[in-house]
Structure 1
Amino acid sequence: MFKFAGKVLSVTAAALMVTSAISSAQSLDEIVEAAKKEGMLTTIALPHDWCGWEGILAGFKAKYPEITINELNPDAGSADEIEAIRANKGNTGPQAPDVIDVGLAFGPSSTKEGLLLPYKVSTFDGIEVKDPDGHWYGGYYGVLAFEVNTDIVKEVPQDWADLLKPEYANSVALAGDPRAANQAILSVYAAGLSAAGGDASKASEAGLDFFKQLNEKGNFVPVIGKASSLAQGTTPIIVRWDYNALADRDTLNGNPPVEVVVPKSGVLAGVYAQAISAYAPHPNAAKLWLEYIYSDEGQLGFLKGYCHPARFNQLVSEGKVPQEILDKLPPAEAYTKAVFPSLEEQDANKNAVTGGWDSVVGANVQ
């Protein structure tokens, strides 16, 4: 079910330019001791209700209590994370992130800019999508879905075109600002894939046109959708990653009732990548954090949050995934139509959406 595939997620040679030499080899024990001496890890953009991060953060703290986790802006978008690295190049204080969790398209561009520190975790060989020199690697993926408050929305939309119907006036929101947040940027692409009949070359333009129509019809709500706004009825339909929507469904526990729908077309899978800042104030704590994330324990933490982790196939083949976790995941057939856009396609879409949203759609999402 984990469909990372080299031919689909191809990376151009230019996108993999090496910006610095691989650091000298350290044993895990040496990294642990050095990280404990540093005593702190600064993360950014890790909301506790996203993809199991709450449990993963708790697991790391329990395993390494000597290391304090300093959490910056949990609601930051991928572009915000990259800007935080740029803005803190000479800063060793608490505002400089050590590690980032960004949309896949931000990995190669940040590597070319020299913003990421190459490091290969001990489970590197089992990771399917990665920079060969270890500047970044895919951590998990999900598909974009509709999260629906069925107390308010009685006729649940089943596909993107349904969202244009008049019964969804003042109802549809994105889970981020499409000028900065990877989730929202890819939501535009997914809508465009559906509108363009699966033609990736037309997806960005068609996606912007779709949201222009959605806005003109009065169906689009220019508010960043969250579980709270869903429950309050401000944004009764949110386009967001399936794992976030499923986690909200559990958290809200029927108040209000939530239905999560993977659309019939335009099923887009998004991969998020992990990386270490080239200017990390705590580089050894950062390495230890990645070691934990890509360990069996960390990978199962993603699964508990409804995400498909990088080493999913390997863990299943080795019988390391408890059946109770597998039983809570959506059925495999929901993902059979999932499209994994290449890095080149994602990068082109990111430029088209961030550059064209204001002029085409004209909705200030905040």
Structure 2
Amino acid sequence: MFRSSPLNSGSVSRRQALGFGVLGAATLAAALTGCGSTNADKPAANAVPEGFPSYYPADYSKIVDASKAEGGKLTIYSNTDQENWAPILRDFKAKYPWTQVSADNLDSDEVFQRQLSEMATGKAPADMLVSNAVQAWASYGEKSDTLMEYDSPETKQLPDYAQLMPNVWAMSLDPVGIAYNTALMKEAPTSIAGLAKTVTADAAGYKNKITTRDVKGAWGFTVSHAFAEGSSDAWTGLDEILPSARPESSSGTQKEKILSGEYVAGFFISSAVGYPAEKASGGLVKFVLPTDGTVVLGRGIGITPKAPHPATAKLFLDFVLSETGQNAVAEGGLSSYRDNVELSEGRHTYQEVEKLAGKDGIIRVPYTMVPDAEVTAFVSKWNAQLGS
């Protein structure tokens, strides 16, 4: 507490005393103002860097600066098509102009096989892995030192199911559906049971004209097994379709052969291929979600344990999970899942899948391992049904 002292009239005039008092008051006020200004500046010093949401940490600029020091390079091993990546890489580059991202398009299993083999040599160039092969992710994650520990500031802004496993988030939540050639199949198959009914009515005509995914691959097994487990009448329809079906190792191959007419229809095709194919084909290819059970896969994204460019990898992960990133995800044909994604023609969201398939009709696949014995039994049963 400040306490005033009595003036000595014998040594200081009244005018001087008043002047001193005014000056002292002014000096004190200035000092107090200066102190107040310093306290007011403290929150600014701890403020989130410009251009980032308020929930980002105050020292996030260190990651930005570190990315610049790395040269902004980023290598991603993924099973995602370039047309899906295009808007994401464009908008990431717009936000971080110094970055250079290379996103390889590999087979689902190859993403992990390549990373593990390169890790064994001590020279692993990939910074990030992106894949929706659940079994492969679960197997990879069970091994030690395969993922970098990182807590994205976006995590708390996302639904609980956004984190698929420790240090792996969903870049998108993509449904799996039926694609068909509208010129060759007049009656639209809206369910697996409906497709089975159509095939059964003309078994000779549909022989080898239906395609499905190869269940010996991680992705094919995951979606097929998930449907069989998640739909009570699954095998009733599958038993009728499989004798007319041939397996393919990728949705891209299936799409091309449906377009050409080699196949009339395909089931368990990724929407990442199905939606863009429908848009680009001018109506020749139609993609639908089965009403008797729609499998939804999280497209996992994670940072490798010894990423050559860890800061840029963190920037990319946070961007993909952000509102801007999720809008780019939707623009590229993948299904985003943030509530504030702008809906327009050609964009798809997980919320849309819930409306079309119904919450009870969605079969969401957890990132956990299926026991080997169960995998072997399922693959044997499935392949025994396939036509020659």
TM-score band by shorter chain is: 0.7 to 0.9
Deviates more, 1:139-148 or 1:81-90: 81-90
Distance 1:69 1:354, change over 3 A: farther
1:182 corresponding residue in structure 2: 219
In structure 2, stretches of 5+ residues that fail to align are: 1-56
- Counterpart among 134, 152, 165 of residue 121 in structure 1: 152
- Counterpart among 243, 250, 260 of residue 232 in structure 1: 260
Distance 1:279 1:352, change over 3 A: farther
Equivalenced residues, count: 315
Distance 1:324 1:351, change over 3 A: farther
Q: 2:370 corresponds to which letter in structure 1?
A: A
In structure 1, stretches of 5+ residues that fail to align are: 1-24, 198-202, 316-320
2:118 corresponding residue in structure 1: 88
Which deviations, in whole Å up to 9, do the C-alpha atoms of 1:166-207 show, x marking residues without a partner? 243222223x5432342553134315544x33xxxxx7xx5x
Which deviations, in whole Å up to 9, do the C-alpha atoms of 1:96-136 show, x marking residues without a partner? 32111233555554333121111111211123225599511
Distance 1:300 1:354, change over 3 A: farther
2:188 corresponding residue in structure 1: 156
Alpha-carbon distance in 1 for matches of 2:343, 2:317: 26
Alpha-carbon distance in 2 for matches of 1:70, 1:53: 10
Which deviations, in whole Å up to 9, do the C-alpha atoms of 1:198-242 show, x marking residues without a partner? xxxxx7xx5xx9767644x33335464423222112233123133
Distance 1:221 1:340, change over 3 A: closer
1:102 corresponding residue in structure 2: 131
2:246 aligned with 1:220: yes
Distance 1:268 1:222, change over 3 A: closer
Matches within 5 A, 1:331-350: 333-336=355-358, 337-341=360-364, 343=366, 347-348=369-370
- Counterpart among 320, 324, 334 of residue 344 in structure 2: 324
Secondary structure, aligned partner of 1:96: coil
- Counterpart among 45, 54, 60 of residue 78 in structure 2: 45
Q: Is the 8 A contact 1:32 1:288 kept in 2?
A: yes
2:321 corresponding residue in structure 1: 294
Higher helix share: 2
How far off is 1:46 after superposition? 4.7
TM-score for both structures, normalised by structure 2: 0.69
1:15 corresponding residue in structure 2: none
Q: Is the 8 A contact 1:118 1:136 kept in 2?
A: no
Alpha-carbon distance in 1 for matches of 2:60, 2:182: 49
Alpha-carbon distance in 1 for matches of 2:355, 2:372: 28
2:304 corresponding residue in structure 1: 277
Distance 1:327 1:53, change over 3 A: closer
Alpha-carbon distance in 2 for matches of 1:66, 1:292: 15
How far off is 1:43 after superposition? 0.8
Alpha-carbon distance in 1 for matches of 2:371, 2:292: 18
Q: Is the 8 A contact 1:178 1:353 kept in 2?
A: no
Q: Is the 8 A contact 2:78 2:106 kept in 1?
A: yes
Deviates more, 1:136-145 or 1:217-226: 217-226
How far off is 1:259 after superposition? 1.8
- Counterpart among 111, 127, 131 of residue 141 in structure 2: 111
TM-score for both structures, normalised by structure 1: 0.72
Alpha-carbon distance in 1 for matches of 2:347, 2:216: 36
Q: 1:53 corresponds to which letter in structure 2?
A: W
Aligned-pair identity (%) = 18
Alpha-carbon distance in 2 for matches of 1:134, 1:187: 25
Alpha-carbon distance in 2 for matches of 1:132, 1:262: 23
Q: Is the 8 A contact 2:331 2:347 kept in 1?
A: no
Distance 1:279 1:235, change over 3 A: farther
Distance 1:137 1:146, change over 3 A: same
Q: Is the 8 A contact 1:173 1:225 kept in 2?
A: no
2:88 aligned with 1:56: yes
Q: Is the 8 A contact 1:49 1:247 kept in 2?
A: no
Which deviations, in whole Å up to 9, do the C-alpha atoms of 1:258-294 show, x marking residues without a partner? 2222212122222222111113222222111101111
Alpha-carbon distance in 1 for matches of 2:371, 2:190: 24
- Counterpart among 103, 106, 127 of residue 71 in structure 1: 103
- Counterpart among 294, 308, 328 of residue 267 in structure 1: 294
Alpha-carbon distance in 2 for matches of 1:54, 1:275: 19
Alpha-carbon distance in 1 for matches of 2:77, 2:68: 20
Secondary structure, aligned partner of 1:324: coil
Alpha-carbon distance in 2 for matches of 1:108, 1:339: 21
